[in-house]
């Protein structure tokens, strides 16, 4: 197989974690006989410094021309003024919109060797935690009308039926390959947009009679995630609810450094990235956890390229390294001596 991958290092630890992900891509290429052409693209704070915009038009075009996009992280204190007209996050929003990626798929699971790193007690984690949050990505309050009037400000949560239908179908299709249950998260007791969400999900569900749909209010979902997380398998959420709940789920796994994500649309092309930020406080110190980015590569191979065996090989390699007690600083417990970013990447490559 020959595929073209646009690679965005971004800012902060993005450069370090992407370097380890690229090592894994090269190992898969060698081991399985594929050809992956990598083209590096500038986006984020580094692009602001160089071009005055977070996502130059030529960078977006290179991403559109690729079969998949791999992203590290963007942002940092240098560009952290929320009132600035140009911010790194605009590049990420522009990229998602430009690639027409309306679905964010965020798996979260506890690897058995890391069970002790979870903040939840053993009696809860022992029941298992392996979920997928399917988050609508291009609508809702982040994209609604906003502004200021006098001494007040407003942001608008708005969804259309087609937006809800398409994200619901993705969640149902994912559920068909898992436990066939979808928890649809809303705030239908208060919000009109959530009432439309619930009505539309119920209508789409009729096309998937093998799937059980459970409606759950977002506040209850947040509580149940820490009380009884094993009840969930696929969670279907709006943009803002998914943003919050997926970060909560990441902490149950022990570290946000373990969580990969995929942003997809109607075609096979997708945007793959860890869910964590650029962590400028540890950038350049060789202590960042590259596993989330490496698992994002596995998602890319599976979802965009259909290479399930190769994706499984990466996941198995990660589990093998963890079983042997190797940890970066964020997941080290019981007094283990942590290893660095580069060593973790190399060890995973050796196990593929």
Structure-token pair, residue 52: 């005055």
336 has a pLDDT exceeding 80: no
pLDDT at residue 192, as a whole number: 98
- CA dist list (Å): 246 to 233, 267, 275, 292, 352: 13, 24, 9, 14, 28
Q: What is the pLDDT of residues 81-112, one digit of tens each?
A: 888 899 998 999 899 989 999 999 999 988 88
Q: Is 111 a catalytic residue?
A: no
Q: Is 11 a catalytic residue?
A: no
- pLDDT over 90 for what percent of the chain? 82
Structure-token pair, residue 177: 């390959």
pLDDT at residue 119, as a whole number: 83
pLDDT at residue 194, as a whole number: 98
Q: Is 247 a catalytic residue?
A: yes
73 has a pLDDT exceeding 90: yes
71 has a pLDDT exceeding 80: yes
pLDDT at residue 254, as a whole number: 79
Rounded to whole angstroms, the Cα distance separating 318 from 312 reads 10
pLDDT at residue 240, as a whole number: 97
Give the confidence band of 323 by pLDDT, cuts at 50, 70, 90. very high
257 has a pLDDT exceeding 80: yes
Same fold, 1-101+259-352 and 119-252: yes
The region of weakest confidence among 120-124, 186-190, 240-244 is 120-124
- pLDDT over 70 for what percent of the chain? 100
Rounded to whole angstroms, the Cα distance separating 62 from 168 reads 30
The region of weakest confidence among 149-158, 280-289, 334-343 is 334-343
Residues 11, 67, 186, 243: which is the catalytic one? 243
Rounded to whole angstroms, the Cα distance separating 321 from 325 reads 7
pLDDT at residue 14, as a whole number: 97
Rounded to whole angstroms, the Cα distance separating 295 from 316 reads 10
334 has a pLDDT exceeding 80: no
Q: What is the mean pLDDT of residues 285-301?
A: 97
Q: Is 142 a catalytic residue?
A: yes
Residues 57, 122, 219, 281: which is the catalytic one? 219
CATH superfamily of 1-101+259-352: Isopropylmalate Dehydrogenase (3.40.718.10)
Mean pLDDT over the full length of the chain: 94
Contact 269, 304 (CB under 8 A): yes
The answer to pTM > 0.85 is yes
Structure-token pair, residue 116: 């002790």
The region of weakest confidence among 42-46, 92-96, 97-101, 127-131 is 127-131
Checking DSSP bridges between strand 234-237 and strand 181-186, what pairing results, if any?
parallel
Residues 142, 179, 180, 315: which is the catalytic one? 142
pLDDT at residue 346, as a whole number: 98
Residues 109, 130, 233, 247: which is the catalytic one? 247
pLDDT at residue 247, as a whole number: 87
Residues 23, 186, 187, 208: which is the catalytic one? 187
CATH superfamily of 119-252: Isopropylmalate Dehydrogenase (3.40.718.10)
Q: What is the pLDDT of residues 167-212, one digit of tens each?
A: 999 999 999 999 999 999 999 999 999 999 999 999 999 999 999 9
Delimit the domains of the chain by residue range: 1-101+259-352, 119-252
């Amino acid at each position: 197989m020959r595929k073209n991958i646009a690679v965005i290092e971004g800012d902060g630890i993005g450069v370090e974690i992407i370097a380890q992900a690229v090592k894994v891509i090269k190992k898969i290429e060698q081991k399985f006989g594929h050809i992956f052409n990598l083209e590096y693209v500038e986006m984020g704070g580094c692009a602001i410094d160089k071009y005055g915009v977070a996502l130059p038009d030529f960078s977006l075009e290179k991403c559109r021309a690729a079969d998949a996009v791999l992203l590290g992280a963007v942002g940092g204190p240098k560009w952290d003024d929320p009132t600035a007209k140009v911010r790194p996050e605009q590049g990420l929003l522009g990229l998602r919109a430009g690639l027409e990626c309306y679905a964010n798929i965020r798996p979260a699971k506890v690897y058995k060797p890391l069970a002790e790193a979870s903040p939840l007690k053993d009696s809860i984690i022992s029941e298992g935690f392996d979920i997928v949050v399917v988050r609508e990505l291009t609508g809702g309050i982040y994209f609604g009308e906003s502004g200021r009037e006098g001494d007040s400000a407003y942001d608008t949560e708005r969804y259309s039926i087609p937006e809800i239908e398409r994200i619901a179908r993705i969640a149902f299709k994912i559920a068909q390959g898992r436990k066939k249950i979808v928890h649809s998260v809303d705030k239908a007791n208060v919000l009109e947009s959530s009432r439309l969400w619930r009505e539309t999900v119920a209508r789409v569900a009729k096309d998937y009679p093998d799937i059980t749909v459970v409606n759950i209010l977002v506040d209850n979902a947040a509580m149940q995630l820490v009380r009884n997380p094993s009840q969930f398998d696929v969670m279907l959420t709006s943009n803002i609810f998914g943003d919050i709940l997926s970060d909560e789920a990441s902490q149950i796994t022990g570290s946000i450094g373990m969580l990969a994500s995929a942003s997809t649309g109607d075609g096979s092309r997708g945007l793959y990235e860890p869910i964590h930020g650029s962590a400028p406080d540890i950038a350049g110190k060789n202590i960042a956890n590259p596993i989330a980015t490496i698992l994002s590569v596995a998602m890319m191979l599976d979802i965009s390229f259909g290479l399930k065996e190769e994706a499984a090989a990466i996941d198995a390699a990660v589990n093998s390294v963890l079983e042997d007690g190797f940890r970066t600083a964020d997941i080290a417990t019981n007094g283990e001596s942590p290893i660095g970013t580069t060593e973790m990447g190399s060890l995973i490559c050796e196990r593929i």
